Chains A and B, each alone.
Chain A
Amino acid sequence: MSELEIIIGLEVHIQLTNLETKLFCRCGNHYRGKEPNSLVCPICLGYPGSLPVLNRKAVEFATRLALALNCEINEEFFFFRKNYFYPDLPKGFQISQYNKAGGKAFADGGYIEIKIGSQPKKISLNRIHLEEDPARMIHQGSIASSPYSLVDYNRSGVALIEIVSEPDLRSPEEAREYLNQLKSIIQYTGIADLDLEGSCRVDANVSLKGHPRSEVKNITSFKEVERALKWEIQRHKNVLKRGKELVQETRHWDDTRRLTISLRTKEFEKDYRYFPEEDLVPIVLEQSFIQQVKDDLPEMPTERKKRFQKDYDLPEFNAEILVIDKNIADFFEETVNSNDDFTSADFNQICNWLMGDISRWLNENNTNITQTQLTPELLSELVILINQGKITGKIAKTFIDAMMSGESPKKLIKKTGKQRISDEKVIRKIVKEVIENNQDIVKDYIRNPKAIQALIGKCMAKTKGQADPKITRDIMKEELEKSLQ
């Protein structure tokens, strides 16, 4: 059986975490770490007689995102009610937008450009819309076995934006790339910090070409998406391999067991009875308002990439990776601008440190650069020390861990005693020892000149990485030639 084409569309819900208040009331928006049910009022608790009032800042944020995603904004629209019973929904309906029944999304169309290998690919968007978050349910262990459900209404009424893609994604990897780019754009617009726990949720529509699709709900982080998609696609393939038929259904991603569970099939789809929310008047966005938001829109990653290539002589590939995380890109710019003497070689070196060792450290520690004690001044100091020949790149690498906690490279030289060895006599002595003790490698070298690397490595190990790599290589070559004559 030939491989069937994979078709994926994503519905991403993001909280507008950078708002000060909720979408329809004035309760505080920053609920994380707050005592449960302390950020509530009659409106977000859905008390009888209370009415919603739209947060204008949320509309501005949605406009920013719509512009950043190249969407077409609907200048006039109204909200809908999505009706269903659940303990997390105090009104019995969610105020949302709807693009059927005479309704309109906040904005239609748009796209996100991703790279597949080195090939650019445009992923089309269907629409984005504004809606309110339900309350947060807390269980003891899994929802099925918990003897109780607790409801924290602090989250009830927090503003969400839903971003719906077209089914343009062809693999879990493309989905990951798409989410990375989306996250980057959102970070640049300043509307949300998606590193906050629970700030994004994804529903994925998955199918193999020509077969019914399933909708996987409740993927609670971007990182889980790729995993859930891989699992679900494999499930589809397995069903077909066994000669069975797939059915259109809604499935739930269980992130502890890491598998999807069927929730309901098509004939049991919920009927949300969408209809207009008459408690809110139709929203009209003036052209002047949209223009103002456009004028105030911060630089987006694509433009920044181009500027980095031009202003700092970075190769396209590097510039692209560097700008993805706005914090890293900001850090880069601050570092390069901290010293007037830095040249394009230094810019590239700074870029490499940020993309390489520092990003790796951030990943391993699951944090972002603003959460660390590393400063542009410290990184700048490190680069200057390397340039001055005080330390080697190898030594510098060993400093990164301590620098992330705010230690200065100068102090680290003193503390560890590590510095560059450039004295030819010292290095020649070590080289000779290495040649003497590793005659088998030397023999190998006659047939395979690449074996020199192994010998240089031995020197580095002996000096704990302090020997200047260039000088060591030159002397090693000299001594090898001598010993073979």
Chain B
Amino acid sequence: MAYELIEKIRNNELKIEDIIVHTFSKIEETEDNLHSFVHLSKEKALNKAQILDKKYAKGESIGKLYGLPIAIKDCICVKNSPTTCCSKILKGYHPPYNATVVERLLEQNNAICVGRTNMDEFAMGSSTENSCYGPTYNPWDNKYVPGGSSGGSGAAVASGQVILSLGSDTGGSVRCPAAYCGVVGLKPTYGRNSRYGLVSYANSLEQIGPITRCVKDNALLMEIMAGKDPLDSTSAVVTVDNYIAHLEDSIKGKTVAIPKEYFGEGINISVKQKVNDAIEILKDLNIKTIDVSLPHLEYTIPTYYLLAMSEASSNLERFDGLLYGKITPEQKTNVFKVFKKTRGEGFGTEVKRRIILGTYALSAGYYDMFYMKALKVRTLIKNDFQKVFKKADVIVCPTMPTTAFKIGELIDDPLQMYLMDILTCPVNIAGLPAISIPCGFDEKKLPIGFQIIGNYWEEQIILNIAYQLEQQLQLYKKLPEIGKRRR
């Protein structure tokens, strides 16, 4: 865990360089079976490790992250290093600037980026199969998907390649891979973390969030990342609590709401069972539970996809090949033909599907019927949650309706794939914070995610409850066995 490593560096038991060397040997050993990474930066990472070791030896401050290795999702800009959103259209693109969270983690606190993780193209997907580089494999069983869209980050952490990573969550893209890979993933309140430098998919829904092995590491990254960024107008001026200090707080007397709709039809039996077992553990810790209703759950999928696709259709207009990324030049042609060819060749099937649907939803004559209606339902869903938070501190439920599915199983059935987001996307629609932590395994030995949803800006409470539950379950100590078998 990050905390243990930091202690060892402080006690001069470990050098940062040793950690980085070890990380890359672990990656080299396992990457064939995982494909978590799409770009690695070994040389840069080793250089920075040596510099930091020297600085530390001289007694200089090296920030809060002590050169710890971190894996960053391929849609978060890292200056002068490839950032492609796992899309052909951005191949070769090196952003000229750092995302704000990258600035805070890498520049101000000296985490070391070891590489960029695989994802569904432009974060559109729940399986990491929609990547132009090919899929990532679930570390617990490589016939299964790692979840998505931040599947590379989930797999890299679950397999022990790295202990820290970043994902982004538009409709569950941090929590889904956290659940499927058996690690901790947090989607912060909308506006908690800066989105500056996160390549937009659906900008009113998404947040960058940490994926880590344990809750404490998650809290550590959140403390550094969270807070107002003058470069992101939607980032909020709300005090960032001392998350780590409050992890040990007693949760006695806290009220936990259990929404009946989130345990209904379509939720796998083993998932229900393990989540209920975790609720029993919380009860042993003297929390109160109440049964509540979030009646608009059935509308969340259409609402989420209408909003996300509409926004995507506009956000992805900038990829025309003129200023950056892939361009398909042709002699004596007009610019619109270049646009068409670039976009036609550069985007994958799922991205095209969402752009077309979003364009349709925003078109004259359809706007009121689709986009405006989705906005209205969005308000209803927010209100549902607010009613519950009048009575309860948090809401708990499964993160995903099932455990991981097989690679290829749903790829030709987009609607079924979209339905996988049913328990995660209401949180994005409402803009609330939520965490997924592992709460057990199913009969196929695949991990199950437990979701804790908080009220706005109450990351501290969900981290606190997640930590207390984690201490009881002790699942983070369990690592999958990844042999040298070829995939």
Contact = CB atoms under 8 A, between A and B. Distances in A.
A91 B95 contact: no
A48 B318 contact: yes
Contact of A275 (B99, B320, B362): B362
B96 interface: yes
Given A53-B231, A273-B363, A278-B203, A92 B372 contact: no
A278 B234 contact: yes
Interface stretch (B159-167, B191-199, B474-482): B191-199
B204 interface: yes
B196 A49 contact: yes
Given A42-B97, A273-B314, A49 B199 contact: yes
Contacts of A279: 200, 203, 233-234
A149 B318 contact: no
B467 interface: no
A278 B311 CA distance: 9
A86 to B, nearest CB: 8
B449 to A, nearest CB: 28
13 contacts: A48-B83, A48-B95, A49-B75, A49-B83, A50-B196, A51-B232, A92-B314, A92-B318, A149-B335, A273-B362, A273-B364, A275-B371, A278-B234
A101 interface: yes
A90 B359 contact: no
Interface string A268-310: 0001010100111100000000000000000000000000000
A54 interface: yes
B318 A90 contact: yes
Interface in B180-217: 195-200, 203-204
Nearest to A283: B233
Given A81-B314, A83-B313, A271-B363, 8 more contacts: A42-B96, A45-B323, A48-B200, A48-B319, A49-B77, A91-B317, A149-B335, A279-B233
Contact of B233 (A46, A101, A275, A280): A280
B324 A93 contact: no
A281 B199 contact: no
Contact of B322 (A50, A81, A87): A87
A83 B318 contact: no
Interface in B132-185: none
Interface string A29-58: 000000000000010011111111110000
Interface residues of A, number: 30
B339 interface: yes
A36 to B, nearest CB: 14
A42 B367 contact: no
Contacts of B199: 48-49
A49 B231 contact: no
A449 interface: no
B310 interface: yes
A49 B234 contact: no
A102 interface: yes
Contacts of A91: 317-318
B242 to A, nearest CB: 27
Contact of B204 (A47, A48, A49, A278): A278
Contact of A49 (B198, B311, B335): B198
Interface in B73-118: 75-77, 83, 85, 90, 93, 95-97, 99
B233 A54 contact: yes
B344 interface: no
A49 B320 contact: no
A52 B233 contact: yes
Given A92-B318, A278-B203, A273 B233 contact: no
Nearest to A54: B233
A231 to B, nearest CB: 29
Given A49-B77, A49-B196, A49-B199, A93 B323 contact: no
B327 to A, nearest CB: 12
A81 B312 CA distance: 12
Contact of B196 (A45, A51, A90, A278): A51
B230 interface: yes
A93 B314 contact: yes
A47 B310 CA distance: 20
Contacts of A278: 203-204, 234, 311
Interface string A417-441: 0000000000000000000000000
A42 to B, nearest CB: 5
Q: Which 3 A/B pairs are nearest by Cβ-Cβ distance?
A: A92-B317, A278-B204, A273-B362
Nearest to A270: B364
Contacts of B99: 49
Contacts of B324: 47-48
A89 to B, nearest CB: 8
Contacts of B362: 83, 273, 275
Given A54-B233, A273-B359, A275-B314, A49 B197 contact: yes
Contacts of B313: 83, 273
A242 B76 CA distance: 63
Most chain-A Cβ atoms within 10 A of its Cβ — which of B75, B195, B363, B367? B367
A48 B310 contact: no
Contacts of A42: 95-97
Given A48-B90, A275-B310, A275-B367, A87 B335 contact: yes
B300 to A, nearest CB: 18
B195 to A, nearest CB: 7
Contact of A85 (B75, B96, B339, B367): B339
Interface string B341-359: 0000000000000000001
Contacts of A81: 314
A87 B320 CA distance: 9
A143 to B, nearest CB: 11
A192 to B, nearest CB: 25
Contacts of A271: 363-364
Interface in B26-75: 75
Interface string A438-469: 00000000000000000000000000000000
A56 to B, nearest CB: 11
Contacts of B363: 271, 273
B372 A102 contact: yes
Interface string A249-281: 000000000000000000000010101001111
Nearest to B229: A51
Contacts of B233: 51-54, 279-281
Contacts of B336: 85
Most chain-A Cβ atoms within 10 A of its Cβ — which of B85, B317, B336, B364? B317
Given A48-B85, A48-B90, A53 B230 contact: yes
Contacts of A46: 318, 323
A471 B324 CA distance: 80
A271 B359 CA distance: 10
A271 B203 CA distance: 22
Contacts of B90: 48
Interface in B415-435: none
A273 B312 CA distance: 13
B338 to A, nearest CB: 9
B200 A49 contact: yes
B317 A93 contact: yes
Given A49-B77, A271-B363, A90 B310 contact: no
B317 to A, nearest CB: 2
Most chain-B Cβ atoms within 10 A of its Cβ — which of A42, A48, A49? A48
